[in-house]
Amino acid sequence: MGQPSHGEWTLSNVAQVIQNLRRAEADTIDVLASAVQDEVDMIYRKSQRLVPLDTSALQGTGRTVGPEVTRRYIKFQIQYGGGPAAAYAIVQHENLEYKHTGIRSAKYLERPAMDAAGGMPVRVANRIQRTLGNTDYVR
């Protein structure tokens, strides 16, 4: 039997490596927030094409909110019917019995969100890879 092999490695310039890793973390959070913002914007645009248009008032209340970024999460919201119109927005979204014209429908927010959800992790991961993939954080 031969002698077991072993190796010894020395990591020098540790302070620079740590600084680079912190920068990589911050950049990753920024890219992630931007990628998710793009997803939210896409869902919002699709929901605007589906929201009922009886008076156009509901469509006019639509908006995106965010991002709220912490080290634990990135939060976005898509809202319809703020203030006194909130109850109206909920009824229009949930009541499947209402008849709407054209492609307008109940579930005007849920449908685009569910359609986007399946491919969202891959699209976001691809965006992070494209943006940060060629970055050399550890020199």
Sequence ranges of the domains in the chain: 53-130
Report which of residues 25 and 4 the model is more confident about: 25
Query: What is the pLDDT at residue 1?
Result: 54
Report which of residues 48 and 82 the model is more confident about: 48
Region 24-53 average pLDDT: 93
Query: What is the pLDDT at residue 11?
Result: 72
Region 46-50 average pLDDT: 96
Region 41-50 average pLDDT: 97
Residue 130 in tokens:
């494209």
Region 5-21 average pLDDT: 79
Spatial distance between the Cα atoms of 47 and 77, rounded to a whole number of angstroms: 13
Query: What is the pLDDT at residue 5?
Result: 67
Evaluate if residue 53 carries a pLDDT over 90. Answer: no
- Give CA separation, 61 vs 16, 25, 33, 64, 82, in Å: 48, 35, 24, 10, 6
Evaluate if residue 139 carries a pLDDT over 50. Answer: no
Spatial distance between the Cα atoms of 126 and 84, rounded to a whole number of angstroms: 40
Evaluate if residue 10 carries a pLDDT over 90. Answer: no
Strand residues in 61-105 grouped as ranges (E): 63-69, 74-79
Region 57-67 average pLDDT: 92
Spatial distance between the Cα atoms of 79 and 120, rounded to a whole number of angstroms: 20
* Reported pTM: 0.80
Residue 108 in tokens:
């005007």
Residue 50's nearest CA partner among 119, 117, 118, 101 is 101
Region 115-121 average pLDDT: 94
